[in-house]
A and B are shown apart, each in its own frame.
Chain A
Amino acid sequence: MSDVTMRIWRGDPAGGDFEEYALEAQEGEVVLDVVHRIQATQAPDLACRWNCKAGKCGSCSAEINGTPRLMCMTRMDQLPEGPVTVAPMRTFPVVRDLVTDVSFNYEVAKRIPAFEPPARPAEGYRMQQIDVERGQEFRKCIECFMCQNVCHVIRDHEENKPHYAGPRFFIRLAELETHPLDTNDRRELVRQRMGLGLCNITKCCTEVCPEHIKITDNGIIPMKERVVDASYDPVGWLGRKIMRRPKRSPEEAAAGSSS
């Protein structure tokens, strides 16, 4: 087998640089396998986060040849010839080597109002299958945070972090907004506090999602359309005027049918 050259970012908050590691290629390996072999044979202090090696835990996100990917799902034989570059996710502060501090995401998650069902009816909660299926796509998210990493709104503009939820949480909000039993109206929240308007739908989040969730088409754009419903639709506005039906407050929206 031919040799492979890995260029892996080594460093910590004080700084760092790429270091090259040459080793023999082995059939069927993924990038994470090679990183583990480097740990075992050449650099025992190389830090990388991993867990399941099956593309389901979302731990081993990195930038392979400049593109966010899961190291455990990236086969070496599918990468182009030449050195393979492995760098930590760019959007989050580096802890060491390939490990980043993704706590930004957990802080955002805390700001999202939780699922809030109506008072339990005597016969219990009932949901139709077609309503249940709608949010299933969003529940596939493994929280690898590659969509957050690739999103240029915070990747290239750190100053947006305090008021931007990011693609992962837009689909969380979309999931809650389309939940048949949820009573919260999050449209103003997502417009004013979660920075939905900052997203310019360049779809990079969808491109990098390892679960192939249509983040933009099924999550972000439907949320943008719901904001338009509430704030910018001329027909809706005219309808409310003609029918003398003022825009519902969040409380009214929650109390009545939210459709």
Chain B
Amino acid sequence: MTTVDDATVTPVVLGGTRGGPDVPTLRRDRWWLQPLVSASVLIAFVVYATWAAFANKDYYVGAAAHRDLISPFYSPCLTASCVPGSHPGFYLTWWEISPAILILIVPLGFRLTCYYYRRAYYRSIWLSPPNCSVADAHGSYSGETRFPLILQNVHRWFFYLGLALNVILTIDAVVSYGEPGVGVGVSVGSLVLTANAALLWLYSLSCHSCRHLCGGQVRRFSDHPIRYRLWKLVTPLNANHMKFAWASLVFVALTDLYVRLVASGAFHDPRLF
């Protein structure tokens, strides 16, 4: 039995002259393009989400328009300031500011600690490193071993909370097919909410923590056949986690924008059938 205490640190010869010129990179391709695009999309999302969260209006399309559409940024709407029809029947009286701030803590925490987004923003915003074989922009580096980055380990907590939020957004999508005063129908808005919920489920279920909890954590698959099946099921999703991360990020903003435009009266949500 070997434990951590038995593993002595073998002295490693440090230093020595490194080969190659002392330049940040020898790459001649457009290595800067990928981090530039990532940073642009992430910053654009943060700016839009911040504005949308503080706007505190035009997030719900209710009975007056024969619709039941709520922005994912504001669902579940849990504060006393929520517009009638948008809250689930109870609310928090002590929360004074926009209800979206309360909600967005969960998806923000989930995405901020997500293994894929970590790659994206460490590269594109923190430049540590900006791209492979391109020098780190920082003189010292402690990775995720110290506060605050050691908090990345709470990703699993947000995964659990994010699942609950996905259930609520799925209920929102189902409810959106019931059109008050008209009956049941399919509108562009209900399809948008459905696609949004589906993408968020795909993003959550493809998460590395999900894959680990499904079966990755067992040492012997043969002792846990059900968990092995679950692991096999989510592994192909996990391989596409990056795609789901970007698609769900962009679409959740577009969903909010769609509901916002309908709620503000810019146009009416078209009924398909």
Q: Which residues of A contact B (CB under 8 A)?
A: 9, 11-18, 63, 65-68, 80, 82, 85, 87-94, 97-98, 100-101, 103-104, 107-108, 110-114, 116, 128, 130-131, 134, 150, 152-153, 155-163, 177-180, 182-185, 188-189, 192-193, 195, 197-204, 207-208, 217, 221-222, 224-229, 231-235, 250-251, 254, 257-259
B25: interface (CB < 8 Å)? yes
Would you call B123 and A87 a contact (CB within 8 A)? no
Would you give the 0/1 interface string for B207-250, flagging 1 where the beta carbon is closer than 8 Å to chain A?
01100100011111111100010000000001100000000000
Would you call B123 and A93 a contact (CB within 8 A)? no
Residues of A within 8 A of B25 (CB): 66
Would you call B12 and A259 a contact (CB within 8 A)? no
Would you call B145 and A201 a contact (CB within 8 A)? no
Residues of A within 8 A of B8 (CB): 111
Q: How far is the CB of B251 from chain A (nearest CB, A)?
A: 23
Would you call B220 and A131 a contact (CB within 8 A)? yes
Residues of B within 8 A of A116 (CB): 1-2
Residues of A within 8 A of B3 (CB): 184-185, 188-189, 250-251
Would you call B10 and A222 a contact (CB within 8 A)? no
B6: interface (CB < 8 Å)? yes
Residues of A within 8 A of B149 (CB): 200
Q: How far is the CA of A198 from the CA of B122 in the complex (A)?
A: 13
B92: interface (CB < 8 Å)? no
Would you call A66 and B12 a contact (CB within 8 A)? no
- Contact (A201, B119) CB under 8 Å given A158-B14, A250-B1, A259-B223: yes
Residues of A within 8 A of B156 (CB): 225, 228, 232-235
Would you call A153 and B17 a contact (CB within 8 A)? no
Q: How far is the CA of A98 from the CA of B20 in the complex (A)?
A: 9
Would you give the 0/1 interface string for B6-33, flagging 1 where the beta carbon is closer than 8 Å to chain A?
1111111111111111000111110000
Residues of A within 8 A of B29 (CB): 65, 80
For A16, the closest partner residue in chain B by CB is: B19
Q: How far is the CA of A63 from the CA of B28 in the complex (A)?
A: 12
Among the interface residues B9, B26, B209, B224, which one has the most CB atoms of the partner chain A within 10 A?
Answer: B26
For A100, the closest partner residue in chain B by CB is: B19
Would you call B157 and A9 a contact (CB within 8 A)? no
Residues of B within 8 A of A111 (CB): 7-10
Would you call A130 and B222 a contact (CB within 8 A)? yes
8 contacts between A and B (CB under 8 A): A63-B133, A65-B26, A65-B29, A94-B19, A111-B10, A152-B128, A195-B145, A259-B220
Q: How far is the CB of B44 from chain A (nearest CB, A)?
A: 22
Residues of A within 8 A of B12 (CB): 104, 107-108, 161-162
Residues of A within 8 A of B4 (CB): 188-189, 192-193, 250
Q: How far is the CB of A225 from chain B (nearest CB, A)?
A: 4
